[in-house]
Structure 1
Amino acid sequence: MKIAFVINQTHKEKAGFTTTLLAYSALQRGHSVYYIGLADFVYLDHDKIAAHARIIRQIGNIADTQQLIDALKSTSKERVFMDDFDVLWLRFDPVLDMINRPWAAAMGLQFAQLAQKLGVRVLNDPRALVDAENKLYLENFPEEIRPRTIVTRSYDDVKQFFEEQHHEIILKPLKGSGGKNVFLVNKQESKNLKQIVEVICRDGYLIAQEYLPKAQYGDIRFFLLNGKPLIRNGKYASVHRVQSTGEIRSNIHQGAKAQKAVISPEMLQMVEKVAEKLIQDGMYFVGLDIIDDKIMEINVFSPGALLQASELNGEDYAAAIIEDLEKSNGKNKTE
């Protein structure tokens, strides 16, 4: 197969990224990989959509993911027509370009839809991603599996919600990632509430959520494939992310430690409640952030931490995903 990954920018890619693991696994299984930045698309005609891609057609002397990244960055771009791809995989983070390149994510989704019209399989479905570009997407799922939430730019709304939630809430940008500008506000911090609201609202709307006491023990990143738990040899692709002392964020790159997750029957029952809509929306690969009996976020653009899940469980989840692609695309290992 010819698998194209749409990313923000090549120079920002790293060896431990989930995208890199997927690309390396695809190469190992005999496929070709193409990397396309959000600034690399070309419209030539309604049936001629192209991209300037960095291409690695065979694994050659690439021994690990770092060598893959090195090879990728030293490879010149080639113009390739989109209908030549078997899979166009959207693996960019809209938040990374929100300030300096506000046009980038929207154009990526628009070109992905054009490719889709040409018969290219696009993951995740770009039409649904338009609606899922921020955390409000979670509100489309059953009420019992999500925390109490408001979305606003009004300090008065936040203050009222703060009082209703017994003076303990989480505040964060509606459109955000990586744990940036995430605040726990309690009675001790209430004097800073207005300032925190102003800081977050500089870049748009904020989301306020009830604080779950078990958040102090971290969260679980749980991966789904085609609406079902990603599982290999009986082990669920998941990571228990435990924040460092004095930190409320569970993001790995914010210092959280990755531990093996314990997956309960109750958690699996909760996951089942989001499966049908994710399948309907064409969300092929998804990462859920779970605390206790609530799903805090549904990550549909570029969910990470697959490396940590693989290392903790001793399973190659990237290979499992590529194997599934082969089956669902009706392709063998060769192009």
Structure 2
Amino acid sequence: MKLLFVADPLASFKIAKDTTFAMMREAQQRGHALAVCTPQGLSWQQGLRVQARVQDIALTGQADDWFSAQPERLAALADFDAVLMRKDPPFDSEYFYATHLLEQAEREGARVFNRPRALRDHPEKLAVMEFPQLIGPTLVTRSSADIRAFHAQHQDIILKPLDGMGGMGIFRVKADGLNLGSIIETLNRDGAQSVMVQKFLPEIAQGDKRVLIIGGQAVPYCLARIPQGNEVRGNLAAGGLGVAQPLSARDQEIANAIGPVLQQRGLLLAGVDVIGGCVTEINVTSPTCFQEITQQTGCNVASLFADALEAAVRGA
């Protein structure tokens, strides 16, 4: 197959842990041809198909100069067997516009994973609203009064912006309410921005689990991201320790409820975050943790993904 990865610049990759790199490595080992572009390279002109400025690449197996690239060329997305949207968050206006270009490419015959419309329809924090039976006490609001009432009820809460990533902008407020007013002002900007508020789950001490769902099925191991020191966040980007472990019965129950729904909508890969048996986020833009799970368990997650991708392309 000819694969096009829409991603951040390759120079920014940390290949020791990067999931997109793991996908590329597995694909090349299977004999698939690799090409890359950034979202900035996408374009459409009346009378033409959606195009991208792409580079054909090959992985070298070296730690430093880890890829070789051919000169940039223009190519129609529909000429690839699969297009993988792997641009990291944030999901900003330009990401949103990129999904529209990718959806036009779909109308022209391109096969895009995850599907652009599904990416737009599943903001990673708000997606949990569809599964209220699987989440803990949660509030989404612009109202400072609502946030104060939620704190009064639950005493120990987490506040976070809807467009954050990697644990960015997450605050914990305990029963004493210390700095609650200042945190509300910072996050909701006098009612201009919505805020997600959740009851603090003390089980975070055992880890914020990333449960990967590929082709509607759960990977048999998750990565528990355990906060370190006085940190409340388990995110790896915030210094959390990643510990791979088999799925619990509750993890599997959650995957069984969410996985088929996501697959039906064209979400080939998703990362469901679980704390204390409660879903906190459903990540669909650029889910990670392939390499950490593989290195610790021997379960080749990239191979599971490649199997699902090949099956999806054959079935298209």
Match of 2:122 in 1: 132
Cα distance in 1 for residues equivalent to 2:63 and 2:257: 35
Q: Does 1:36 align with 2:37?
A: yes
2:140–2:197 Cα contact (<8 Å) kept: yes
Structure 2 contact 6–87 (Cα < 8 Å) conserved: yes
Could you say which residue in structure 2 is the equivalent of 1:151? 140
* Aligned 8 A contact 1:20 1:65 in 2: no
1:13 Cα deviation after fit = 2.6
What corresponds to 1:88 in structure 2? 83
Structure 1 residues 216 and 237: alpha-carbon distance in aligned structure 2, compared to 1, 3 A threshold = closer
2:194 maps to 1:197: no
- For 1:18-37, what aligned pairs fall within 5 Å after superposition? 18-37=19-38
Shift of 1:46: 5.0
Contact 1:24 1:65 in 2 (8 A): no
CA distance in 1, matches of 2:24, 2:37: 13
Q: State the Cα distance separating 1:134 from its structure 2 match.
A: 4.2
Summarize the Cα distance change of 1:285–1:258 in structure 2 as closer, same or farther, 3 Å threshold: same
Identify the range of structure 1 (261-270 vs 167-176) with the bigger mean alpha-carbon deviation.
Answer: 261-270
Is the Cα–Cα contact under 8 Å of residues 239 and 258 in structure 1 kept in the other structure?
A: yes
> How far apart are 1:67 and its partner, in Å?
3.8
Q: CA deviation at 1:47?
A: 4.8
The structure-2 alpha-carbon separation of the partners of 1:281 and 1:46, relative to structure 1 and needing over 3 Å to count, comes to: farther
1:13 paired to 2:8: no
Letter matched to residue 265 of structure 1: A
Alpha-carbon offset, residue 214 of structure 1: 0.9
| Farther-moved stretch of structure 1 (177-186 vs 9-18) | 9-18
Identity of aligned residues (%): 27
Q: Shift of residue 168 of structure 1?
A: 0.6
TM-score under structure 1 length normalisation = 0.87
Deviation at 1:254, TM superposition (A): 1.3
Contact kept in structure 1, 2:41 and 2:52, CA below 8 Å: yes
Equivalent AA in structure 1 for residue 161 of structure 2: P
**Alignment deviations for residues 163-222 of structure 1 (CA, whole Å, 9 cap, x no partner):** 111x1111001121100011111024x130011112222483210011112122221111
1:65 Cα offset (Å): 6.5
Q: Do 2:225 and 2:241's aligned partners in 1 also have CA atoms closer than 8 Å?
A: yes
C-alpha distance in structure 2 between counterparts of 1:260 and 1:10, whole Å: 27
2: CA distance between counterparts of 1:304 and 1:183? 23
What's the offset of the Cα at 1:66? Answer: 5.0
Instruction: Give the TM-score, by structure 2 length.
Output: 0.92
CA contact (8 A) 1:24 1:64 kept: no
Contact 1:242 1:250 in 2 (8 A): yes
Write the deviation string for residues 277-332 of structure 1: whole angstroms up to 9, x where unpaired: 2122211101111112211111001011111011111232112211332233239x
Aligned pair partner of 1:122 in 112, 128, 137 = 112
- How many Å separate the matches in 2 of 1:153 and 1:107? 25
Aligned residues: CA RMSD: 2.0
Task: Indicate yes or no: 2:267 matched with 1:283.
Answer: yes
State whether residues 14 and 66 of structure 1, in contact with CA within 8 Å, keep that contact through their aligned partners in structure 2: no
CA contact (8 A) 1:241 1:257 kept: yes
Which blocks of at least 5 consecutive residues in structure 1 are unaligned?
231-235
Moved more, 84-93 or 9-18: 9-18
Relative to structure 1, is the Cα distance of residues 226 and 323 closer, same or farther in structure 2, using a 3 angstrom cutoff?
A: closer
Partner of 1:177: 165
- 1:79 equivalent to 2:74? Answer yes
| Counterpart amino acid of residue 33 in structure 1 | L
Letter in 1 for 2:146: D
Q: Tell me by how many angstroms 1:224 deviates.
A: 0.6
Aligned length: 312
1:134–1:175: structure 2 CA closer, same or farther, 3 Å change rule? farther
> Would the aligned equivalents of 1:170 and 1:210 in 2 still touch at CA under 8 Å?
yes
Distance in 1 between residues matched to 2:126 and 2:47, nearest whole Å = 33
The range that moved more, 75-84 or 167-176, is 75-84
The 3 A distance-change label for structure 1 pair 187 and 44 is same
- Tell me if 1:213 matches 2:197: no
Alpha-carbon separation, structure 2, partners of 1:298 and 1:220? 12
The secondary structure found in structure 2 opposite 1:25 is helix
Q: What is the DSSP-based 3-state SS (H/G/I as helix, E as strand, rest coil) of the residue aligned with 1:223?
A: strand
Supply the AA of the counterpart residue of 1:171. Answer: L
Residues 320/262 of structure 1: CA separation in 2 closer, same or farther (3 Å cut): closer
AA aligned opposite 1:300:
V
Q: CA offsets, 1:84-135, max 9 Å, x none?
A: 111111111331x74xxxx420221011101111121111111121121341
Cα displacement string for residues 135-173 of structure 1 (whole angstroms, at most 9, x for unaligned residues): 1111012x22112211112211110111111x1111001
Alignment-derived partner of residue 61 in structure 2: 63
